[in-house]
Amino acid sequence: MRFNSLLAAENLSIFDPVSPPGESIRSLAFFVFAVTGVIFLIVEGILLYSVYRFRHGAPKQGSEPPQVYGSKPIEIAWTAVPALIVFVLILIIARTIWEVRVDPHNPPKDSKPLRVTVIGHQWWWEYVYESYDGKKLGFKTANELHIPAGNLKIDSERRPVYLTLQSADVCHSFWVPRLAGKMDLIPGRTNELWFETGKTGLYLGQCAEFCGAQHAKMLLRVYVDTPDVFDKWVKNQQQKAVDDPAVVKGKKAFLARSCVNCHRVYGTGAEGTYAPDLTHLMSRDTLASGIITNTREHLRQWIADPQKDKPGCLMPAFGLSESELDLVVDYLATLR
């Protein structure tokens, strides 16, 4: 299968976080493991000791061991100790929730917040870039989220990312384990999620709420770029689509088809908002929400029959002839 290699070797571990919320969640996990681990060892230890110590049965055949009734100290101990443990866990969890909670209205002073609205669709992610460092952005992209790396030690160099999460259809869940905890995208409700990181790289994730037949193929890719690379990327995304005279026939073929009812190519007649924005399609590494690498060959196969890779997805096969397919792919391949 073409898409296996995209996820197989990647690091999706919550134990290897690169952002403060991820670190809080890891600390909590370690703490809970430690507490429950100690309890486990004590209980199993007593059990094994008893099995070994009394392996020959009671000292006298037929007799019972001493029976103890109503020991106040023991009853107080086994009520108070678990209650105390639960109370400590509650306090630690409350502190973690406090640490990872969102306050989008109060970004760190002098920082450069990035604000993006994420809309979950069956089965892809829409990203509406709202603003960065107080300046309006106003462009859309799909499936591959780009964010700038910051310097977490200097407030004016921090670049916290505030996501506003919404859904166009059913419940989804945004989860990039190394950046933050899961947050659901719920129809008719707006949720928020926050993270920031100083480490550039690609961080993968996955829709974490069952949302229909292709839930498993609703992958997430977050690219953390250096601020310069991010600025360049933003500049490019804000541009209208490339209008390459060499593919005029292909553009015509594309615009004549019903592709334009769902897809948008900024600067052309294609104004659909129902499906991923294709204005800068070739600036993305993958197709179909991260399941296929974005090569000309794969793009052609995807357009020829999307149902083969993602059965049930909303994009139908349009029955294009081989030559029409070539023309449309020629055109799309210029949308950098």
Residues contributing to the site for ligand CUA (CB under 6 A): 120, 123, 172, 207, 209-211, 215, 218
Nearer to ligand CUA, 168 or 282 (CB): 168
Amino acid 125 reads W
Task: State the nearest-atom distance from the C-beta of 214 to ligand CUA, in Å.
Answer: 8
Nearer to ligand CUA, 204 or 260 (CB): 204
Q: Which two tokens stand for residue 202?
A: 């690609």
Task: State the nearest-atom distance from the C-beta of 218 to ligand CUA, in Å.
Answer: 4
Task: State the nearest-atom distance from the C-beta of 165 to ligand CUA, in Å.
Answer: 12
Is there a contact between 114 and 148 (Cβ–Cβ < 8 Å)?
yes
Which among 20, 231, 238, 279 has a CA at the least distance from the CA of 132? 231
Task: State the nearest-atom distance from the C-beta of 289 to ligand CUA, in Å.
Answer: 9
Q: Which two tokens stand for residue 153?
A: 């030690």
Task: State the nearest-atom distance from the C-beta of 169 to ligand CUA, in Å.
Answer: 9
Q: Which two tokens stand for residue 135?
A: 């300046």
Which among 144, 183, 186 has a CA at the least distance from the CA of 162? 183
Nearer to ligand CUA, 179 or 218 (CB): 218
What pairing do the DSSP bridges indicate for beta strands 172-174 and 124-132? unpaired
Q: What would you report as the CA-atom Rg of the chain, rounded to the nearest whole angstrom?
A: 27
Nearer to ligand CUA, 54 or 210 (CB): 210
C-alpha angle 313-316-321 in degrees, rounded to nearest 5: 145
Longest dimension (CA), the chain: 100
Nearer to ligand CUA, 218 or 234 (CB): 218
Task: State the nearest-atom distance from the C-beta of 51 to ligand CUA, in Å.
Answer: 46
Nearer to ligand CUA, 125 or 203 (CB): 125
Q: What is the DSSP string of 158-194?
A: ---EEEEEEESSS-EEE--TTT---EEE-TT--EEEE
